[in-house]
Each structure stands twice: as structure tokens, then as C-alpha cells.
């Protein structure tokens, strides 16, 4: 499984988001690997209307009412999102808020992917039962020279061992088949990527190369 975070890169917004989502869909079909775009809330409806399966990049712990500028989980569901990411290192939220949103999304039928910077942070979240937990230390995000897989394999192993019942993803600097192989060999079920794919000259080629490591792992 690969989650591709479109962030707010120019290549991942508006009409360009459609092309990138199409690339994710094509690679998914060619490799039989689940590839899920994480997109801005404003792009969800557009992509859903074109039959792309997408998740939101975030959601807020709010109810219907005067909450201008925040993202209502019910609104995500109505626009066609199948799930949401929470607590990315670029958008950290308190643990109790994460737990509240996870529980809310479960009631709505929205899946959740929660990011954590450490096994200790993940342990505080795990009992709320998100669908996925991602280990993503912020110091490697966006790096093309270092990755969590090569720099902290022992922490990946610890993370996986502590989070026994929830699939673990690995992100932050993942940019090669070697990075993917290491993560999978340590027990991860997938990866979370962004700039390596979204900013690539040929996103499809980059995705196919990362996906190849999953085939080798089977």
C-alpha cells in the first residue's frame, strides 16, 4: 500500500491533481497495489466526480455550527472522501483531539491514517483504533539524500513491535526501492510518500519503481 500526499504543491492542486490522481490509479491497476492519494479538501469533490478514490489530508474536531475555516468530517464524507490523514508533522494536533476525530470518523464510516513522530506518540493514539498508523520523523520529510529507512531502521522495528494490531506505514524521505524494502522487511505494510512522487519529472515512473519493491517482497 502506498499513500501519496499531494500536499499543496502546484503539481498536486486543481487540474494538476486530476493528472496525478490518474497516475496513481494507472499504477495501482498495473501493479495490483493499493495507491491512495491524500488531497486538499477543495480537490476532493472534483476527483470523486471522476471516479478517483481519494482521502483528505486532514479533518477538524468540530460539529455543525459556527466553525469558519475548519474542515468538518461530515463534509469530507459528503464530497466523496473515503478517509482522512491526521497529525501530519506539518499539521500537528493534540493527542486527545486525534482520538476524538478518529472516533468520530469511525462512526461516519471514514477511515483514518494517523501520523506519529515516535513509538511513544503512537502508543498514546493506538487504543483509539485508527485504520493505519504511520511512523514519520519530521527531520527526514522531503529529503532526497536520507530517509527514515536508512537512518532509523531500529525505530521502525520498535514502532512495528509496539503497534501490533494496526497496519504500520513508514514515511519521511522514502525515495528508493531500498527504502521500501527496508521498511517492509521490518514489518511495515506500506509507505507514505510525497515530494519524491509529486515533484518528480515522471511521477508514474517513480511510483512504478517504488511499487516494484512491494512485488519483490511478496
Residues annotated catalytic, as ranges:
88, 136
3-state secondary structure the chain: CEEEECCCCHHHCHHHHHHHHHHHHHHHHHHCCCEEEEECHHHHHHHHHCCCCCEECCCCCCCCCCCCCCCCHHHHHHHCCCEEEECCCCCCCCHHHHHHHHHHHHHHCCEEEEEECCHHHHHHHHHHCCCEEEECCHHHCCCCCCCHHHHCHHHHHHHHHHCCCCCEEEECCCCCHHHHHHHHHCCCCEEEECHHHHCCCCHHHHHHHHHHHHHHHC
User: Can you tell me the distance from the alpha carbon of 197 to that of 116, in angstroms, rounded to the nearest whole number?
Assistant: 21
Amino acid at each position: 500500500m502506498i499513500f501519496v500526499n499531494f500536499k499543496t504543491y502546484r503539481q498536486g492542486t486543481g487540474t494538476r491533481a486530476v493528472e496525478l490522481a490518474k497516475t496513481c490509479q494507472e499504477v495501482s491497476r498495473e501493479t495490483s497495489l493499493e495507491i491512495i492519494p491524500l488531497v486538499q479538501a477543495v480537490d476532493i469533490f472534483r476527483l470523486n466526480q471522476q471516479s478517483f478514490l481519494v482521502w483528505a489530508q486532514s479533518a477538524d474536531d468540530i460539529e455543525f455550527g459556527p466553525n469558519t475555516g475548519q474542515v468538518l468530517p461530515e463534509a469530507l464524507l459528503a464530497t466523496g472522501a473515503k478517509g482522512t490523514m491526521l497529525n501530519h508533522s506539518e499539521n500537528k494536533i493534540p493527542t486527545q483531539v486525534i482520538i476524538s476525530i478518529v472516533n468520530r470518523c469511525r462512526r461516519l464510516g471514514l477511515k483514518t491514517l494517523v501520523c506519529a513522530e515516535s513509538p511513544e506518540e503512537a502508543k498514546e493514539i493506538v487504543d483509539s483504533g485508527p485504520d493505519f498508523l504511520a511512523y514519520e520523523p519530521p527531520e527526514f520529510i522531503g529529503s532526497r539524500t536520507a530517509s527514515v529507512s536508512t537512518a532509523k531502521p531500529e525505530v521502525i522495528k520498535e514502532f512495528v513491535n509496539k503497534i501490533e494490531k494496526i497496519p504500520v506505514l513508514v514515511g519521511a524521505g522514502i525515495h528508493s526501492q531500498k527504502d521500501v524494502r527496508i521498511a517492509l522487511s521490518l514489518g511495515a505494510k506500506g509507505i507514505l510518500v510525497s515530494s519524491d512522487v509529486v515533484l518528480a519529472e515522471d511521477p508514474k515512473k517513480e511510483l512504478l519503481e517504488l511499487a516494484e519493491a512491494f512485488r519483490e517482497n511478496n
